[in-house]
Structure 1
Amino acid sequence: MVLRKSKKVDKKLITCSLVTGLAFGVLAPTTSKVFANDETVNKVNITQENITQEKIKLDPSYQHAPFDGWGTALAWFANITGGWPDNIKNELADALYSESGLNFNIARYNIGGGDSSETIPYMRKGGAVPGYWNRPAEYGPPNGSTENWTEQKNWWNPETPEHWNWSADANQRWWLQAAKGRGADTFEAFSNSAPYFMTQSGYVSGNWNPWDDNLKPDQYENFASYLTTVVGHLQQDMDIEFKTLSPINEPNTGFWKAKGKQEGSNWSPASQAKIINEVKKQLDEKRLSTSVSGMDETSPGHFRHDWDQYDSAIRNNIGRLNVHTYNTGDRIAVRDIAKGTGKPLWMSENDLGHGGDGQNHEDIRPGLALSERIQADIQQLEPKAWVAWQAIEDEVNMDPQHENSNWGLMQVDFAPKDPSNVKINKNKKYYTMGNYSKFIRPGDQVINSNNQNTLAAIDSKNNSVVVVYTNSSSEEKSINVDLSGFESVNETSAATPYVTSAVDNVQKKEEIKISDKTLSTVVQPQSITTFVISGVSGVNKNNIFLNTHDKYTISSVNSGKVLDKGLDGKSIVQKTYDRDKESQQWSIQKVTNGYSTKEYYKIVDTASGNVLGVENGSAVVQKDDESAVNQKWMLSTYGNQEYTFINAQSENLLDVSGESKEEDAPVGVWKPNAGSNQVWKVVKAGI
């Protein structure tokens, strides 16, 4: 939760728009349910002239791993609303987790740390998530007076039953059950801070110097015991399986200062490693199937910085990588770290408060900003899940007298006079999320397109593809979606659009017939349109982005120079492009049989038949050896003709040494860093 909190931000998803008289509708069983008025089908106007044309090609040969799903962290809003009357909290839960709502299937549960009973409340509404510890009266102030009283050190013992309070956090636990009861199937536990008595400042909001670690040096074992015991107890008591436990959150940012508005704790990379190892050890000792996730850094750049300081043992103890995208640089580096190590990756937290001119539940611009973020995150990170921070935000805290912002997918008053009569404001971000979460479902696989405004995913079970297109411009756009990359496009294939705009909320429109393997239509200005296209399947091997029978030049995005052989005929260097030079032409041949993003390739020098390999960190051409791991490469791209090449042996990337732009600069491999010297443009030779 990026420290929005003050300057940083208490993450919040964008503002809401309450649409009166809206009743939710249901489609046929083979189709996702959508929002109200499904029976009202509107035609899409495709007759206007002088409309911007956009050609989009889909590439089903590049398939992300099956998607885990969509969801939200519970935490603050659950701590507030989970104690409200049944009618209101059930309406909120339906809006997020039911098929008639957003159909989320992921819930991230916050294990609170909890300040001492003597601490005067100072956090934002909902921020003080209760901890599960219990301090017996004998360790508290005598007669309730703190005068001349100091709490006994190290009083808490995880082995003492009286030191636990298993009735704590009832409101957030209600949300866990509500999510599960509506079909949620993926749960993660996460922590923002250890309990106050394990911290150096005595507060769960951070140390007095926000760059200093707040966990006491002698409390790693106790903190790990606290987290793993809570996970084990809730799994047994509530029959909820936590697939992962994330022990730290945005750990190396300098956000977390004592008496801030929310829980948080700084962790240096060395401290991160220590707690990750201890949590993994205790999960194993308790025989819990839960794995460690981490490190939930605030941005891909922070993630990469921390990861680079982990040794192999620490990396092996992390079962899934979690990253937030409050800043977006270095996405492709984290993608390639995940792919190289073979670990799944989540975009585990994000929200946007900007877009528009302040709090406005009807403004489409925050929805457009959210859509652009979702598309770019999924295209560039290749995550298995996209999880919002706080799907429900405090209406009052977002008003013009306070933050004047659009955090949250819905906004409600967190301190209503009458909790049984709360106004629920769904904003355009809420409906924008529906354009994704209601149609791209768990198990679907995102595929590439050559268009940054397009996110596409295949549903192999139903022989369909979902295409979400974002038009942020103030003009209509004519789009042509090329489906020729699929092996089969039925004669009866058609697209059903669902539009969110200034006037529509995931509104179903008139079906569009597919003609000549192309979807041709016009999209509204400032809109998000989901097309559910039926009757498409397979991969057309003769019409994909990379063909084994073609020759390519591979040029550095940093220098513009192309891969070539050095004077010794073995080393690899970069040289100025020469159209007639055969040593600059390469074929890219798949050595595995699937269409996932993790297939392996060999890069063949067409002049000699030798292949690109790695020796002692340098790129070389070698005699082809099918068993040689150092000659296998994984390719990453998001459809823009730019690729990174991940070496199977080293997990490092093909890299121009020293970011050089000089002629004959050597090419080797280096750890992923998102530098343009690691990104290569692949273009058919002779073009």
Structure 2
Amino acid sequence: MKQTINGEWLLGLVLTAATIQTAAADLTTTISPTTNWGTWEGFGVSLAWWAKAFGTRSDLADIFFSTKSTTYNGQSVPGIGLTIARYNAGASSTNSINGTTMVVSPDMIASRQVDSYWLDWASSSPSSSSWSWSVDANQRNMLSMAKARGATTFELFSNSPTWWMCLNHNPSGSNDGSSDNLQSWNYDQHAVYLATIAEYAASNWGVSFQSVEAFNEPVSDWWNGQTGTQEGCHFDVSTQATVIGNLRTELNNRGLSSTLIAASDENTYDLAVSTWNSLGSTATSNVGRINVHGYQYTGGRRDTLYSLASGAGKRLWNSEYGESDATGQSLVTNLLLDFRWLHPTAWVYWQAIDGGGWGLIDGDNDNLSLGAVSQKYFALAQFARHIRPGMRILDGGSNYTVAAYDSSAQKLVVVAANWGAAQYLNFDLSSFSKPGVSGALVPRWITQVGSGSQYASYSDTYMNGTKFWSYFPTGAVQTFEVSNVTL
């Protein structure tokens, strides 16, 4: 996560025209059955830092990783059914190594320090006393509970190398924020650390990481050990390339040749384009998937990044997204833009629990306090509970519509939003070889951003020939499921 978010969300010139339409007249969108924007892998969440604080709470695991209803603070909450969990390999420890200890930034937030499994450089053997596998129990427990509730895809990621690998021994960043903080003689040790965790997890935790990501927003210049509030590290692109090669070797040496390397989790779409174009062919050949963060919001060249990924034969994830808009409108706006232009095969929220509007549930990870479920949660439920792994993402035909197709169930899922005046939105399935059955029920669910309906379900919408339609109040996000549809 970026430590401070710019209050102005820049509008990219290309995407300005792609923002959600707000016309007052009724609108019709025609959904295309011939498009294929990828096979969906799932919605997910990062486990740092909220799982360190609340990793023993089974009710939270139910809410985030199952689709059953759970009673929380007296409210029945529909589980959001996330299937991806990103596990953070920590960089901090309190031990002393020959009189040397970790340097802690003056502004460091305690809940954002995650314990490292590798305590010192004396031995790289995971069975030696240089390693402690009992630390970080809460985050690890939430990882296990996520899997038990149906999560299927796991990624191991790093915010910073372990502190003793850093030049200034501060895992919050270099002293100026814009220079590499990983010691050159520890380039391979950072790779050893991550590969060892991946191997140990498969053998001892029952979790096989699909991918490993060695960096977090690496070219950004805010990873400053003097002012940092979290673990973080700047990596020049050339350093990234070296570490990627080392990581591929270390994973292969441990029998993990099928484990993907993801890179580079840059903060914005445009930075991801720049980094990818500069990594070089050797490094990019070792990258199995491109990860990007969504902090450019409505700006940036999503389309360019997708073209680069597609041309290189790489899958693409939006692996981290978050903001302080608790209404859910910003989340829906950027999700629609991502589906329309970025074409990721997975989408991962940052902090499931946090304050200031950032969390899906309001909470304080330092004080271990929990508040209400955010309206943002119910907005995300419109997507996450219905667009499920294995579905094919289609062209929804408009900037306000997402469409996904389940071939095994012959079911079409449509999610749409209306930010303008209240109106009817019409959905035309005439291009499908079988556009459902005229007169058949189309179940719908509605959330209104800000306030109002919280994922309410209705059985009042029906196919009429090859179309169906529904009334959309201002600020409404609705999901529809159409049965008996054939591409």
Work out whether the TM-score is over 0.5. Answer: yes
- Structure 2 segments unaligned to the other structure (5+ residues): 9-22, 69-78, 96-100
CA apart distance, 1:319: 0.8
After TM superposition, the runs of 4+ consecutive aligned structure 1 residues lying more than 4 A away are 115-122
Shift of 1:449: 2.5
The residue aligned with 1:528 is 477
Unmatched runs of 5 consecutive residues or more in structure 1: 10-49, 136-154, 355-360, 399-405, 539-687
| TM-fit CA distance, 1:123 | 2.1
Question: Per the alignment, in what secondary structure is the counterpart of residue 63 of structure 1?
Answer: coil
Distance 2:485 2:39 in 1: 18
Deviations 1:176-217 (A, max 9, x none): 101001010100000011111110121001001111000011
Cα deviation digits, residues 512-571 of structure 1 (max 9, x gap)? 111121112211211111111222212xxxxxxxxxxxxxxxxxxxxxxxxxxxxxxxxx
Q: Which amino acid aligns with 1:408?
A: G
CA distance in 2, matches of 1:448, 1:120: 49
Number of aligned residue pairs: 448
Instruction: Give 1:491 shift.
Output: 2.8
Q: Aligned pair 1:370/2:331, yes or no? A: yes
Residue 478 of structure 1 aligns to a residue in which SS?
Answer: strand
Residue type at the aligned position of 2:242: K
Report how far residue 413 of structure 1 moved: 3.1
Match of 1:458 in 2: 405
Identity value in percent: 30
Deviations 1:287-324 (A, max 9, x none): 11312111111111001111111221111100111111
Equivalent residue for 1:318, pick from 287, 291, 305: 287
> Of residues 380, 386, 395 in structure 2, which corresponds to 1:448?
395
Structure 2 residue 48 is matched with structure 1 residue 102? no
2:61 aligned with 1:93: yes
Q: Is the 8 A contact 2:438 2:462 kept in 1?
A: no
1:479 paired residue among 403, 410, 425: 425
The whole-number CA distance in structure 2 between the counterparts of 1:174 and 1:482 is 46
Q: 1:516 aligns with which of 455, 465, 468?
A: 465
In 1, distance between residues paired with 2:206 and 2:462? 47
Partner AA of 2:158 in structure 1: S
Partner of 2:441: 494
Shift of 1:8: 9.4
SS at 1:462 equivalent: coil
Specify the alignment match of 1:298 in structure 2.
Answer: 267
Contact map agreement 1:492 1:535 (CA 8 A) in 2? no
- Out of 317, 321, 336, the position equivalent to 1:350 is 321
Contact 1:116 1:196 in 2 (8 A): no
- Quick one: distance in 1 between partners of 2:445 and 2:414? 10
Q: 1:525 to 1:213 in 2, by over 3 A?
A: same
**Correspondence list, 1:262-281, <5 A:** 262-281=230-249
- Say if 1:521 and 1:159 are closer, same or farther in 2 by CA, change over 3 A: closer
Distance 1:291 1:516 in 2: 46
> Structure 1, residues 341-391: CA drift from partner, whole Å, max 9, x if none?
11111111111213xxxxxx6xxxx31211111111122111110011111
Secondary structure at the aligned position of 2:49 is classed as helix
Shift of 1:424: 3.8
Once the two structures are TM-superposed, the CA of residue 55 in structure 1 deviates from its matched residue by 1.2
Tell me the TM-score normalized by structure 2: 0.88
Alignment equivalent of 2:308, drawn from 337, 343, 346: 337
Deviation track 1:397-436 (CA, whole Å, cap 9, x = no partner) reads: x2xxxxxxx10111123344xx6xx544111110011000
1:468 aligns with 2:434: no
Tell me the amino acid that sits aligned with residue 157 of structure 1.
S
Shift of 1:157: 2.7
Structure 1 distance, partners of 2:404, 2:441, is 16
After TM superposition, give the deviation of residue 52 of structure 1 in Å.
2.4
1:236 aligned onto 2:203: yes
Partner of 1:410: 361
What are the superposed Cα offsets for residues 472-531 of structure 1, whole Å, 9 maximum, x if unpaired? Answer: 23x211111111011112234332110001221110013311112111221121111111
- Matched residue of 1:469: which SS? strand
- Counterparts of 2:352 and 2:153, CA distance in 1: 17
1:434 matched residue in structure 2: 381
For 2:140, the equivalent position in structure 1 comes to: 173
Q: 2:348 aligns with which of 379, 387, 390?
A: 387
> 2:104 & 2:273 partners in 1: Cα distance?
38
CA distance in 1: counterparts of 2:94 and 2:199, whole angstroms: 24
Conservation of the 8 A alpha-carbon contact between 2:154 and 2:208? yes
Residues in 2 aligned to 1:307 and 1:78: alpha-carbon distance in whole angstroms: 31
For residue 528 of structure 1, what is the amino acid of its counterpart? V
State the alpha-carbon separation in 2 of the partners of residues 330 and 92 from structure 1: 35
CA distance in 2, matches of 1:79, 1:423: 14
CA distance in 1, matches of 2:92, 2:370: 30
Contact 1:495 1:514 in 2 (8 A): yes
